[in-house]
């Protein structure tokens, strides 16, 4: 249930409304817009039946939320939500680009990547310390050591870290290093994990499952938000269909549908959607035109030698060019990208050292 206040409602009136709702045993969530304030009521709505909400000072109207995803629904917020990630807000005027390798493979390769993507205008650094792989014999990340490498790259570059958490046992450890906790497609309906990250107030980037509907994605977000963590970013990364020309089928229509159904920010992952580096740019252009608030792109210093997802990763020069080509699309939809800066000269590490560092003993 949501309570819409009158224009010009005072803080005292809002506090009185909250006290009556919370006195009935429900929790409240305040969302302030330009003209109205919306008070979301979380809990057993039947308890409010005996509370004369419409007679309370400052109340304009009361509405039930009929959708199964109540906290994530568009009606629950006075406007689109913005999630703070470092110095930027996902969902604001700026198109937020998060970039980096599929997996952390070594200290120097990640530091070089962080410098390169920051110089091109990226606002976040992605990289997997723990990696879910279809084959148990594939490289599955550096684990705790990878988290330490990510933290050092953040200290040097200033970019906030986005990395995946796969297990409830790792949530505290990952949260101790990461700025954004990513829930991957394979874990979108791992309800125990969703509940655990919901207990933190760290931003969560929630990827759509490979065979999941939009409704499934929003209900997964609801698990996180029900625990009190409203800092959720949704990610469209393609779904599995009968098509084999691409790694996944990029559901472009999901972006405007999500923007209509929820107040949460929506980003797109063109790398996993297409599975090929030549598709990253056109899928990104389409995503921005469709209303995406940001992109998460795979970038690697030597994609052909990457330990995972090299086929869909851009190298540094390709990413810099990609960002420049993206700017007109951001401008066309009334958004902007962070400005690129001149990268400090750095000594390039030998590729063999970069590629083998992930397999060294901790």
Q: How does pLDDT run across 224-265, given as a tens digit for each residue? A: 999 999 999 999 999 999 999 999 999 999 999 999 999 999
Question: pTM of the predicted model, to two decimals?
Answer: 0.87
Q: Are residues 266 and 293 both part of a single domain?
A: yes
14 plus 151 within the same structural domain: no
Is the four-CA dihedral 303, 325, 183, 126 of positive or negative sign?
A: positive
The pLDDT mean for the chain works out to 90
In a domain? residue 71: no
Calpha distance 113→236 (Å, rounded): 24
- Cα separation, 126 vs 102, in Å, equals 7
Closest listed residue to residue 72, CA positions, set 16, 164, 2: 2
The answer to whether the CB of 229 falls within 8 A of the CB of 201 is: yes
Point out which residues pair with 333 in neighbouring strands: none
Domain harbouring 299, CATH code:
3.20.20.70
CA distances from 238 to 151, 208, 255, 269, 362 (A): 29, 8, 11, 8, 35
What is the pLDDT at residue 361? 37
pLDDT at 350: 38
Domain containing 8 equals 2-64
20 and 48 housed in the same domain: yes
What is the share, in percent, of the chain residues with pLDDT greater than 90?
Answer: 70
225 and 335 part of one domain:
yes
Task: Please state the domain count of the chain.
Answer: 2
Note the pLDDT tens digit of each residue in 78-136: 889 999 998 899 999 999 999 999 999 999 999 999 999 999 999 999 999 998 877 88
Q: What is the pLDDT of residue 50?
A: 81
Cα–Cα distance, 260 to 4 (Å, whole number): 19
On whether both 90 and 234 belong to a single domain, the answer is yes
Structural domain contains residue 231: yes
Q: In degrees to the nearest 10, what's the CA dihedral of 267, 284, 213, 260?
A: 60
User: Do 252 and 290 meet the contact criterion of CB atoms below 8 Å apart?
Assistant: yes
Three-state DSSP at 61 gives strand
Residue closest to 331 by CA, chosen among 288, 277, 267: 288
| pLDDT the model gives residue 342 | 65
């Amino acid at each position: 249930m949501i309570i819409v206040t009158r224009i010009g409602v005072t803080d005292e009136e809002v506090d009185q409304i909250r006290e009556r709702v919370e006195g009935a045993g429900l929790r409240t969530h305040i969302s302030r817009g330009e003209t109205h304030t919306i008070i979301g009521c979380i809990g057993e709505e039947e308890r409010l039946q005996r509370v004369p909400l419409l007679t309370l000072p400052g109340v304009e109207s009361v509405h039930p939320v009929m959708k199964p995803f109540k906290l994530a629904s568009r009606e629950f917020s006075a406007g689109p939500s913005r999630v703070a990630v470092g110095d930027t807000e996902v969902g604001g005027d700026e198109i937020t680009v998060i970039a980096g390798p599929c997996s952390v493979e070594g200290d120097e390769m990640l530091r070089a990547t962080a410098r390169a993507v920051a110089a091109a205008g990226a606002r976040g650094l992605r990289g997997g310390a723990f990696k879910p792989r279809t084959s148990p014999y594939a490289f599955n990340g550096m684990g705790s050591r990878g988290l330490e490498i990510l933290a050092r790259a953040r200290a040097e570059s200033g970019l906030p870290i986005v990395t995946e958490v796969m297990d409830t046992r790792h949530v505290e450890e990952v949260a101790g290093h990461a700025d954004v906790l990513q829930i991957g497609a394979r874990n979108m309906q791992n309800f125990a994990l969703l509940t655990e990250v919901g207990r933190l107030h760290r931003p969560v980037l929630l990827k759509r499952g490979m065979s999941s509907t939009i409704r499934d994605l929003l209900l997964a977000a609801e698990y996180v938000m029900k625990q009190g963590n409203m800092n959720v970013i949704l990610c469209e990364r393609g779904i599995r269909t009968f098509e084999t020309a691409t790694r996944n089928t990029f559901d472009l229509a999901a972006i405007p549908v999500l923007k209509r159904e929820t107040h949460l920010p929506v980003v797109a992952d063109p790398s996993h959607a297409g599975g090929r580096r030549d598709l990253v740019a056109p899928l990104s252009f389409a995503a921005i035109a469709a209303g995406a608030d940001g992109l998460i792109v795979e970038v690697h210093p030597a994609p052909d030698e990457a330990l995972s997802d090299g086929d869909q990763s851009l190298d540094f020069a390709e990413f810099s060019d990609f960002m420049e080509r993206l700017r007109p699309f951001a401008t066309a939809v009334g958004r902007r990208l962070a400005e690129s800066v001149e990268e400090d000269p750095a000594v390039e590490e030998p590729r063999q050292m970069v590629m083998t560092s992930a397999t060294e003993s901790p």
